[in-house]
Structure 1
Amino acid sequence: MAPSLRVVVNGMEFENPFLLGSGPPGTNAKVIMKSFDLGWGGNVCKTISLDHTKVINTNPRYAKLRDPDDAKKVFGFENIELISDRPFETWLEEFREIKKRYPKHILVASIMEEYRKEAWVEIVERVQETGVDAFEMNLSCPHGLPERRMGAAMGADPEIVREVVGWVKSVAKIPVWAKMTPNVGDVAASPKAAVAAGVDGISAINTILSVVGVDLDTLRPMPTVEGYTTPGGYSGMAARPIALRHVMEIAKAVPNTPISGMGGIYSGGDAAQFVALGCHTVQVCTGAMLQGYKVVQKMKQELEAVLAKHGFESLEQLRGQALPYFTTHHDLVSRQQAAKKEIGIGRDNETWQGEIDKETDSLTAN
């Protein structure tokens, strides 16, 4: 019997932990319903706000970091795309239609507003009437609309996070997740503030503020819009190590709060790493854009294989398995010294130096 990928978070039952993350994969009802048909456990729609007329995108708004030896391989992906520019009323109609046709599938509404209580209260009250299953507060978009104190401009300040989450929780009747920015010094500060204000879950991470590169033919930064650009959000497999570190820090800081992890997930093995660091669900955005929505079937099989390899029957048994093994560098030194005494009696410094030299040689061999 295959291991179970079923997971329950905040009372919501997911057939599997794979959600399509907020962005192009959830840009309208058609693609959201397609994702449900293909087997995704849930979908976080593209971030919406009350007034779409203030959202004006440019073209181009994407740029790729490619392997210099194989241009077909993409390591990283930068975007300067803003939140949804579709009318709010259209989204309300589509949410109702999605939940009417897919009542058992989990639909998470990603919302973002200005630093005004009345705006957050209005968007929550109107959206939850459509029957969506949960909210994801976008407190973390790294680019665009900072002049309106939206996105990361809000989420980087723990006190503002505490206040805004409090506004949302005062009227929300469904679970609320807060999406965190990696563009901060203290990884745990805003998640702690959100939890203190009553948030039901944490999503992490949003994209990393970046400049993907400079076109050496034109000497203009990319993506180039009329010769200019602005720093954008970096994602893709190259972002995964950073995302894993943030998830680990958050899991340790708010141990009893469900986490939806994301950042460079391209396979079931990638997802398993996030679960091992404490995540309940995982979100895939760039990985699905570059590989296609059908990749979820492969991801599920790969995640099942990881569980089976360790004799686990469910994700619960994998969750957090790696967390206890993070410590300080000082402790690592102490542990290694103790191990040397235990198994390396009689081994002199030259022997240990020889092993270090071998490791160095292996790193420089190519």
Structure 2
Amino acid sequence: MADLSIHFAGIKAPNPFWLASAPPTDKAYNVVRAFEAGWGGVVWKTLGEDPPPVNVSSRYSAHFGKNREVIGFNNIELITDRSLEINLREITQVKKDWPDRAMIVSLMYPCDEASWKRILPLVEATGADGIELNFGCPHGMPERGMGAAVGQVPEYVEMITRWCKQYCSLPVIVKLTPNITDIRVPARAALAGGADAVSLINTINSITSIDLEQMVARPIVGHQSTHGGYCGSAVKPIALNMVAEIARDPATRGLPLSGIGGIGNWRDAAEFIALGAGSVQVCTAAMLHGFRIVHEMKDGLSRWMDTQGYASIADFCGKAVPQTTDWKYLDMNYQVIAHINQDACIQCGRCYVACEDTSHQSIAQLITAENGRRYEVKAEECVGCNLCQITCPVEGCISMVPQDSGKPYMNWTQDPRNPRADLQSQS
């Protein structure tokens, strides 16, 4: 069996699956149950200054798919609403009882050096393995100069990270907000401040739905609502992209990454790891399905690694990064054409409608008295856009077949059709 243990930014854990800083990690009771279920580590729900913040009711809403499947999850909950003393005491005891698990403490404090200088020794005294700086909360507490109000200003990110490295000997992980134009900028700032790692993504500003009877967004608090933090499977593509951007940025290449955003099974985790994540954090999936999902995650990842010949997480961490590039470097001479497996086709016509109405009219609908409907690809018209494959309800029925163009690799910076080709190739 593959070895799932990790050594992330100086922090050891029996597996890469950590619970993210959120309601599931708000108290010892939850964290102990998570460790009993097999989670490799937790990021304790964000601590802040006393007096603790006051939360509202209700706090969650969701974006649903068919059959009420939760695609996206929205919350307007703040950081821990329990006292600092209680949290520190529980962190100390849990770490003492579970010394082999990663215990990371999330912190959110004002942009005041004295505040950070005061809290850091207290956290270090708990025996925790590291701290995570919450620079991403998109709602609430801006009056204290915290959350995304900090994470969106690279100078603040660098400044606070440097304070933490000065007053604390624990590994410092900086949690980045996705509510920013270029995720590489705060990552570079964190590294400049001495960060040992970054974690991403934090939640995305969102309103999931409107109650059209009451004319108020959800979640409803009395007769009002507000934007919240969006997470769950819907944010995974955004998170993967941002992880990849940092992993392939020359300025941050090699910086340890903890992947967060829509991870619900072993395959999701493997994708984040392939793009450079050395650990992965889970929240929404655990809230929807409970802590026991980690059994399938560990078993599935281990079995897949065995089939691929990977003995450890490090063996495939970042293996997809070299193949991730800018659009201008893609091969302009590469071509694929759709192929329909007639034996698997159920003649639903979805590929035809999608291509005929919204794409390149490259699928023919043939109707015969003997066989009814039949769909065939017009090879000369197909541009290989993948739309038919995406709309097809039968997995594997439509495949994209590479064509031999007889032409060598040529990217857009070299393409004579590019009016700025010479300038781009020199840049």
Structure-2 change in CA distance of 1:361 and 1:271 (3 Å): closer
| CA-to-aligned-CA distance 1:144-195 (integer Å, 9 cap, x gap) | 1112220111011111111111111101111110000000001100011111
Stretch deviating more after TM superposition (307-316 or 352-361): 352-361
Stretch deviating more after TM superposition (305-314 or 225-234): 305-314
Is the aligned partner of 1:94 residue 2:90? yes
Is the aligned partner of 1:355 residue 2:387? no
Mapped contact 1:16–1:40 kept (Cα < 8 A)? yes
* Whole-Å separation in 2 of the counterparts to 1:248 and 1:147: 33
* Corresponding residue SS for 2:167: coil
The 5 A counterparts of 1:54-203 are 55-67=53-65, 69-71=66-68, 73-203=69-199
Instruction: Tell me the amino acid that sits aligned with residue 67 of structure 2.
Output: D
Instruction: Tell me the amino acid that sits aligned with residue 221 of structure 1.
Output: A
Matching residue within 324, 328, 334 for 2:322: 324
What residue in structure 2 maps to residue 43 of structure 1?
42
Q: Which has the higher contact order (CA 8 A, sep 6+)?
A: 1
Instruction: Tell me the amino acid that sits aligned with residue 41 of structure 2.
Output: G
* Whole-Å separation in 1 of the counterparts to 2:388 and 2:20: 41
Number of paired residues?
A: 353
Structure-2 change in CA distance of 1:352 and 1:160 (3 Å): farther
Unaligned runs of 5+ in 1: 341-349
* Whole-Å separation in 2 of the counterparts to 1:274 and 1:292: 21
Mapped contact 2:14–2:100 kept (Cα < 8 A)? no
TM-score, with structure 2 as normaliser? 0.79
What residue in structure 1 maps to residue 412 of structure 2?
none
* Corresponding residue SS for 2:46: coil
| CA-to-aligned-CA distance 1:310-345 (integer Å, 9 cap, x gap) | 1111111110111111122222243527x99xxxxx
* Corresponding residue SS for 2:56: coil
The two structures, once aligned, show a CA RMSD in angstroms of 2.0
Displacement of 1:358: 8.3
* Whole-Å separation in 2 of the counterparts to 1:9 and 1:222: 38
Choose 1 or 2 for highest CA Rg: 2
What residue in structure 1 maps to residue 310 of structure 2?
312
What residue in structure 2 maps to residue 235 of structure 1?
231
Displacement of 1:99: 1.9
What residue in structure 2 maps to residue 258 of structure 1?
256
Stretch deviating more after TM superposition (322-331 or 287-296): 322-331
Displacement of 1:219: 2.1
Structure-2 change in CA distance of 1:333 and 1:176 (3 Å): same
More helix per residue: 1
What residue in structure 2 maps to residue 301 of structure 1?
299
Is the aligned partner of 1:8 residue 2:35? no
* Whole-Å separation in 1 of the counterparts to 2:333 and 2:151: 38
Stretch deviating more after TM superposition (135-144 or 302-311): 302-311
What residue in structure 2 maps to residue 279 of structure 1?
277
Instruction: Tell me the amino acid that sits aligned with residue 299 of structure 2.
Output: Q
What residue in structure 2 maps to residue 345 of structure 1?
none
Stretch deviating more after TM superposition (91-100 or 353-362): 353-362
Displacement of 1:361: 4.6
* Whole-Å separation in 1 of the counterparts to 2:2 and 2:290: 25
* Whole-Å separation in 2 of the counterparts to 1:364 and 1:100: 52
TM-score, with structure 1 as normaliser? 0.92
* Corresponding residue SS for 2:71: strand
| CA-to-aligned-CA distance 1:55-77 (integer Å, 9 cap, x gap) | 1111101001111x312x11010
Structure-2 change in CA distance of 1:358 and 1:194 (3 Å): closer
Structure-2 change in CA distance of 1:14 and 1:167 (3 Å): same
| CA-to-aligned-CA distance 1:11-32 (integer Å, 9 cap, x gap) | 3221000001100110101111
Mapped contact 1:272–1:306 kept (Cα < 8 A)? no
What residue in structure 2 maps to residue 25 of structure 1?
24
* Whole-Å separation in 2 of the counterparts to 1:365 and 1:90: 54
Mapped contact 1:52–1:84 kept (Cα < 8 A)? no
* Corresponding residue SS for 1:261: strand
What residue in structure 1 maps to residue 348 of structure 2?
none
Instruction: Tell me the amino acid that sits aligned with residue 87 of structure 1.
Output: S
Mapped contact 2:258–2:280 kept (Cα < 8 A)? yes
Q: Where does structure 1 differ by over 6 angstroms across 4 or more consecutive aligned residues?
A: none
Structure-2 change in CA distance of 1:327 and 1:147 (3 Å): same
What residue in structure 2 maps to residue 346 of structure 1?
none
* Whole-Å separation in 2 of the counterparts to 1:220 and 1:191: 36
Instruction: Tell me the amino acid that sits aligned with residue 328 of structure 1.
Output: D
Matching residue within 267, 270, 274 for 2:268: 270
Structure-2 change in CA distance of 1:174 and 1:238 (3 Å): same
| CA-to-aligned-CA distance 1:224-243 (integer Å, 9 cap, x gap) | 11111111000000110011
Displacement of 1:360: 4.6
* Whole-Å separation in 2 of the counterparts to 1:15 and 1:333: 41
Mapped contact 2:248–2:322 kept (Cα < 8 A)? no
Unaligned runs of 5+ in 2: 338-376, 394-427
* Whole-Å separation in 1 of the counterparts to 2:265 and 2:59: 26
Displacement of 1:285: 0.5
Displacement of 1:309: 2.5
* Corresponding residue SS for 2:277: coil
Mapped contact 2:3–2:302 kept (Cα < 8 A)? yes
Displacement of 1:103: 2.0
What residue in structure 1 maps to residue 286 of structure 2?
288
